């Protein structure tokens, strides 16, 4: 498991929208402000919109804004929307990928993964803004 650059950029997009709360922002203006290519921003925005983290409107006064308050958007929410469920090892991903689900290593990895998810779920966009 590694935080992909697009996930980090998605967090930056959300921080930007939080700082400019209440206003619609065009994709082009957000991409320019953050130094993200327009095409990459569009891919990020589509994922965030699909997860309900941001909303968009088209038209003359359209753009993007947060879909819910930034304090209700956890870093884990962003991770899952961009990368899918978090698994630190194939061993904890599914029963058929672990030879012995009762070994000490499996228990350690499961606890480690649970702690990581808990920490990520406990931090919101506001906490990192």
Q: What is the pTM of this model?
A: 0.87
Q: Which of 51, 39, 46 is nearest to 84 (CA)?
A: 51
Query: How does pLDDT run across 62-87, given as a tens digit for each residue?
Result: 899 999 999 999 999 999 999 998 88
What is the C-alpha to C-alpha distance for residues 92 and 97, in angstroms, rounded to an integer? 8
How many other CB atoms are found less than 10 A from the CB of residue 6? Answer: 17
Pick out the chain residues at pLDDT < 50. none
- What pLDDT sits at residue 95? 59
- What pLDDT sits at residue 83? 95
Domain boundaries, given as residue ranges, for the chain = 5-128
- What pLDDT sits at residue 9? 97
Q: Tokens 């606890």 map to which residue?
A: 111
CATH tag for 5-128 (out of 2.60.40.1930, 3.40.50.300, 3.10.20.310, 1.10.10.10):
1.10.10.10
- What pLDDT sits at residue 12? 96
How many other CB atoms are found less than 10 A from the CB of residue 33? Answer: 14
**Any bridge partners for residue 65, and if so which?**
55
**Any bridge partners for residue 54, and if so which?**
66
- What pLDDT sits at residue 97? 62
């Amino acid at each position: 498991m590694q935080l992909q650059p697009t996930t980090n950029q998605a967090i930056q997009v959300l921080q930007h929208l939080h700082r400019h709360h209440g206003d619609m922002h065009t994709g082009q203006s957000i991409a320019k402000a953050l130094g993200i290519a327009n095409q990459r921003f569009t891919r990020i925005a589509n994922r965030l919109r699909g997860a309900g983290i941001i909303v968009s409107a088209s038209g003359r006064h359209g753009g993007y804004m947060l879909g819910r308050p930034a304090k209700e958007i956890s870093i884990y929410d962003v991770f899952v929307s961009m990368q899918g469920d978090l698994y630190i090892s194939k061993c904890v991903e599914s029963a058929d990928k672990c030879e012995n689900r009762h070994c000490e290593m499996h228990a350690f990895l499961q606890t480690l993964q649970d702690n990581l998810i808990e920490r990520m779920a406990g931090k919101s966009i506001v906490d990192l803004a």
